[in-house]
Amino acid sequence: MTGRRTPYEIYWEILVYCRSPRSFTAVVNRCDLNSRTGQEYIEFLCSKGYLSEVKDSGRTLYLATERSVEYVALFTEMYRNLFDSVPEFKL
Amino acid sequence: MTDATERRFRGELGNFFRVALLNVVFGALAVGLGAWYVTASVLGATGALPTPALRMAAGALALTAFGLGLAWLRSSARVLRGAAAIRREFGEHARPVPDEVLTDGIVGMIAQYREHRRTIRTMIRVCTAGGYCLLALGIVSALESASISLSEGTVTLGSAALLPSALVALGAGLTSLYSSYYFSRFSRVWDRRLAETVRGEERLRDVMGTDRE
């Protein structure tokens, strides 16, 4: 995804993408982040218990935890409401 | 997520894409028209320009329209690229799209709008100024192509060759004003959405427990 995203939008993207175990490289590629910021976001989500590390054949993969479900659900509802509460743009 | 939300999102994305595309087309037209008028008016290529003052006025307007057209084209292309990318990604999914795909599209539009907000505001101003410029250009050309006798109440076509370009300039001017009107409306709607996301961030922050340092 391109454009200027907020950290909360990036958290949501990472958490949704990590519903299946993903490598660090896959996460930064999918979420269009550089390694340094990708590392920061992943560390933050791990520290909050939203992401867990899974070992697979010596590789570290990241997986969204049950705890992230509440955040993802709230975020989804909030962004959906943007189209329900604000009048539509029509031609 | 409801079908209505998806329908609204698809509709808005399509409408925005069309307005952005219209801007690119008319930006290119303004550049072309501007270049043509500079040559035709200043060098007298049309062969039927009544006064040097009118020629100079048309030339100055044409040069302004040319410059504004270039700025307009550049900004429109940047905005169109972002909208086209979301449209392409979203279009790859069959209806109804899964929740996360729709939310991803909405986040994408918000992110694009956040990034291009200043550009869109500039485009609204450029479109408005360019629209008035093209309208004036069209009027000057229409006057060049016709001579009006107030005493007799008659209009005589002096140079019919100028009339089509005058009509094109008038049409482009009106379209430009129409386009800036729609961009203003689009901007108002998305400004409200942007404000909603800022308010919503507080709730997300609460759920997370603390802000990210």
Other C-beta atoms lying within 10 Å of the C-beta of residue B156 = 10
**B88 to chain A, minimum CA–CA distance in Å?**
12
- Across B101-209, the runs of DSSP E, i.e. the strands, are 146-149, 154-157
Q: Is the ipTM of this complex over 0.85?
A: yes
Q: Which of B40-44, B54-58, B171-175 has the highest mean pLDDT?
A: B171-175
- CATH number of domain containing A11: 1.10.10.10
Query: Band of the pLDDT at B213, cuts 50, 70, 90?
Result: very low
Query: Is B65 domain-assigned?
Result: yes
Query: Is A1 domain-assigned?
Result: no
Percent of chain B with pLDDT over 70: 84
- In whole angstroms, give the CA distance from residue B195 to residue B72: 27
Check residues B79 and B147 and name the one with the higher pLDDT: B79
8-state DSSP, B146: E
8-state DSSP, B94: P
Is B186 touching A (CB cutoff 8 A)? Answer: yes
Asked if B10 and B18 count as a contact pair (C-beta separation under 8 A), the reply is no
| CB < 8 Å from A in window 53-92 of B | 82, 85
pLDDT of residue B155: 60
Task: Give the residue numbers spanning the domain of A26.
Answer: 7-82
pLDDT of residue B147: 62
Is A46 touching B (CB cutoff 8 A)? Answer: no
Quick one: closest CA in B to A69, which residue? B207
Asked if A82 and B193 count as a contact pair (C-beta separation under 8 A), the reply is yes
Query: Is B99 domain-assigned?
Result: yes
Q: Is the per-residue pLDDT at B18 higher than 80?
A: yes
Task: Tell me which residue of B77, B80, B62, B78 sits closest to B28, measured CA to CA.
Answer: B77
Helix intervals (H) in chain A: 7-17, 24-30, 35-47, 68-85
Task: Tell me which residue of B100, B90, B98 sits closest to B16, measured CA to CA.
Answer: B90
Query: Is A87 domain-assigned?
Result: no
Query: Is A16 domain-assigned?
Result: yes
Query: Is A90 domain-assigned?
Result: no
> Does B107 sit within 8 Å of A9, measured CB to CB?
yes
Is the backbone peptide bond immediately before B96 cis, with ω within 30 degrees of 0?
yes
Q: Is the per-residue pLDDT at A72 higher than 70?
A: yes
pLDDT of residue B39: 79
Query: Is B76 domain-assigned?
Result: yes
> Does B1 sit within 8 Å of A76, measured CB to CB?
yes
Structural tokens at position A24: 């660090």
Tally of domains within chain A: 1
Check residues B79 and A59 and name the one with the higher pLDDT: A59
Query: Is B134 domain-assigned?
Result: yes
A43: region left, alpha or beta (phi > 0 left; psi from -120 to 50 alpha): alpha
Phi, psi (deg, nearest 5) at residue A55: -90, 130
Query: Is B213 domain-assigned?
Result: no
Is B45 touching A (CB cutoff 8 A)? Answer: no
Query: Is A27 domain-assigned?
Result: yes
Structural tokens at position A56: 């697979």
Tally of domains within chain B: 1
Task: Give the residue numbers spanning the domain of B175.
Answer: 3-208
Check residues B200 and B48 and name the one with the higher pLDDT: B200
**B188 to chain A, minimum CA–CA distance in Å?**
9
pLDDT of residue B153: 62
Query: Is B8 domain-assigned?
Result: yes
Percent of chain B with pLDDT over 90: 5
> Does A84 sit within 8 Å of B197, measured CB to CB?
no
pLDDT digits (tens, 9 = 90+) for B96-152: 888 888 999 999 989 988 988 888 888 788 778 878 887 887 888 777 766 655 566
Check residues B11 and B23 and name the one with the higher pLDDT: B11
Which amino acid, B189? V
User: What count of residues does chain A have?
Assistant: 91
Mean pLDDT score of chain B, rounded to an integer? 79
Q: What is the mean pLDDT of the segment spanning A53-72? A: 93
Q: Is the per-residue pLDDT at B49 higher than 70?
A: no
Strands ordered across the beta sheet of A59-64: A22-23, A59-64, A51-56
Helix axes B162-208, A68-85, angle to 10 degrees: 140
